[in-house]
A and B are shown apart, each in its own frame.
Chain A
C-alpha cells in the first residue's frame, strides 16, 4: 500500500468528521499563526529600524569632544588629520554645530526649524542631494560666509519654491540661501527632515560662540565599524593622554546591538508562542488515542484481512501528520490574515509604515514543524494501534 493511498485514506477520514478534526487542529492553527505574526513583527521592526538608521547614516562614527579643561585640546584640524591619515578605514568628516537661535523669514518665526553648522562633505555623508542652487563649499567655511542651504519644506512654505538668492535670518544675522535640498522625508512637515537650515560650521561656531565639539565621520567598510571606532579612540587618547575626554559612537555597532536585542526578544516571544504548538500536538495525541480505541474493531478487521503492523502504524501516523499539516496550512493562512491586519493597524494607529512581513523561510519552518509535531505525537497512538492483538481487536465492542 503506497504512502499516497495512505494519505488519501487519512484525508477521507479527517473529512468524515470535520468539526472534530477542526477542534483537534485548533492548537496547531493558533500556534502556527501566532509564531508567524510574531516573527513577521520582528522582521518588520528590524527592517524599519535599519531604514531609520540608514536615514541618519548607519556607516558613521559620531565623535563628541568634552575636553578636560587642560591646555591640550583637539580641534577641527586634528580631526581632519586623523581622517586623512587613515584613508583605508575612514573616508569623510564633517563637524556639526547645533544652533539654538531661532530663524526668521521676514516677520515670521520658524519655531520648529533645526539649524546646524556643517562641513562641506556633510551632504555627501548624509546622502542629501541639492535640488536647486549649490551645496556648501570649502570657501564658505574658510571665509565664514553668511550663506546657507535650506530644506524643501522651508523653500516651499516661505518662498513658494523659489528660495535660491533670497535671505533668511538666524539669530538676528542675515544669510543668503545658496541652495535647496531635495525632499528627504515622506511628507513635507513642520519640524521634519525638510524643515532644516545648514550653515557653514565656522559661521555657526562664531554665531554660537562655542568651539566645535561634534563630528560625523564615515567609515569605508561597515563591517569594520568596531576597528574604525577603536582607531579614532586611540588617536584621540594620544592627543588627550586620556580616554575620558571624548566619546566615539559607531552607528553600525548600535544598529547591530539593537538588532541583536530585537532578535533575542522575538525569539523569546516566538518560543512562548511555540508552546501552544506543543499543546496542539498533545491535543492531536489525545484525539488519536481516543480514535484508536474507537476504531479497535476496524483495526481488528484490517489485521484479519492481512494488514501488517507497519501498515496500521503508517495509517495512524499519516493521519496525525496530515491532520496537523492541514492545521499548519490553516494556521499559515490565519497568520497571513493577522499579519496584514496588524500592518494596517500599525499604519493607521502609529502612523509609521512598518509592515508585519512573515518570511518564506518562517512559513516553511512553521509547516515543517506542524507536520513533525503530528508525526511525533501521532507515533504513540499509532504504536498502540499497530500492536493490538487481532483477536482481541476483533472481539472489541
Chain B
C-alpha cells in the first residue's frame, strides 16, 4: 500500500533579485495514513512552504508530490480545489474564520463547497462543533469569541468535511500555554480516532506531542524519526551543539 503523503525530491525556489532562495531543497519523506507527524524547524526553515505544498495551495518548482497515490502536479486548478475540499482540513495560526459569518456558518463553508445539502450540512457542522465543545456558541460571530474558542471553531471546520489529512500550521502560535495544551489535546484526540495529523511548529515542546518529527533546516530534512529520540529535539547546525561536541 502506498503512503498517504509522499514527497519525492520536492523543491521550491524563489528568485529574489539575483539570488535564489531555496525554501524547499530536495525534500523527500512519506507519511502513512493515521500518523501524527510534526514538521519542525527554525523560522525561515521552510515549514510553511512544505505545508502549502502538502495543502495543495502551492505547487513545487520541481519534484513530485503524491497525495493518496495521485501526482498532484498533473492536476488542474479545479481538481486541486476539489482535493483541498475533500481531502484536506486546514488549521491556521491566525484561525482564518470568515468574519461576517456565524460560528455555525463558518463550519458549514467547506461542506457548502462540497455540495452537501443544507440539512445534512447543518447536522455535520453541529456534530463537529459538539466535538470541540462549542455547541453553545453557534450563533456567535467570530469576533465575539476568545482566541482559543476561535481556534476550536477552525478545528471544527477542518473536521467537518471528514478529510484524510488535518494540517495545522502553528495552531498554538497565538494562544497562551493553557489553551495551547487544550488545542494540542484535541489534535491528539483526532489522531487517536484515526485521523492523519500534520502539525507544523517551531517549538520543540509542542512538536513532542506528535509521534514522529521531521526537522527542516534551510529547506532540507535534517532529521526524520521518533519524536522522543534525543536527536529529535536538537538542531544539527546549532553552533552551541558544535562547540559542545568539539570540546
Contacts and interface: CB of A to CB of B under 8 A. Distances in A.
Contact of B114 (A12, A13, A306, A309): A306
Interface stretch (B84-92, B123-131, B170-178, B179-187): B84-92
Contacts of A12: 100
B160 to A, nearest CB: 10
Q: Contact residue range for chain A?
A: 20 to 34
Most buried by B among A13, A305, A307, A309: A305
B52 interface: yes
A73 B78 CA distance: 90
Nearest to B89: A305
Given A16-B100, A298-B98, A301-B96, A307 B57 contact: no
Contacts of A307: 81, 85, 113
Contacts of A1: 112-113, 115
Given A1-B112, A391-B58, A394-B57, A303 B100 contact: no
Interface string B42-62: 000000000010010110000
Interface string A267-310: 00000000000000000000000000000011001111111110
A305 B88 CA distance: 8
Contacts of B81: 303, 306-309
A308 B78 contact: yes
Given A298-B98, A311-B113, A305 B78 contact: no
B190 interface: no
A309 B78 contact: yes
A120 to B, nearest CB: 80
Given A390-B57, A391-B52, A391-B57, A306 B78 contact: no
A304 B100 contact: no
Contact of B110 (A16, A297, A305): A305
Question: Which residue, B82, B92, B100, has most C-beta atoms of chain A within 10 A?
Answer: B100
Contacts of B85: 305-307
Contacts of B55: 304
B243 interface: no
Interface string B163-175: 0000000000000
Contacts of B152: none
B52 A306 contact: no
A351 interface: no
Given A304-B84, A390-B57, A394-B57, A309 B112 contact: no
Contacts of B98: 298, 301-302
B82 A5 contact: no
A305 B57 contact: no
B90 A304 contact: yes
Nearest to A387: B77
A308 B113 contact: yes
Contacts of B114: 306
Contacts of A306: 81-82, 84-86, 110, 113-114, 161
Contact of A304 (B77, B96, B112): B96
Interface in A339-395: 390-391, 394
B215 interface: no
B157 interface: yes
A304 B56 CA distance: 9
Nearest to A306: B85
Contacts of B134: none
Contacts of A391: 52, 57-58
A302 B114 CA distance: 12
A298 B109 CA distance: 12
Given A13-B100, A301-B96, A394-B96, A308 B82 contact: yes
Given A1-B113, A5-B112, A394-B96, A304 B82 contact: no
Interface in A294-334: 297-298, 301-309, 311
Nearest to B87: A306
A370 to B, nearest CB: 25
Contacts of A308: 77-78, 81-82, 113
A302 B111 CA distance: 11
Given A298-B98, A308-B78, 4 more contacts: A306-B81, A306-B85, A306-B86, A394-B57
9 contacts: A12-B100, A16-B100, A301-B96, A301-B98, A302-B109, A305-B90, A306-B82, A309-B77, A394-B92
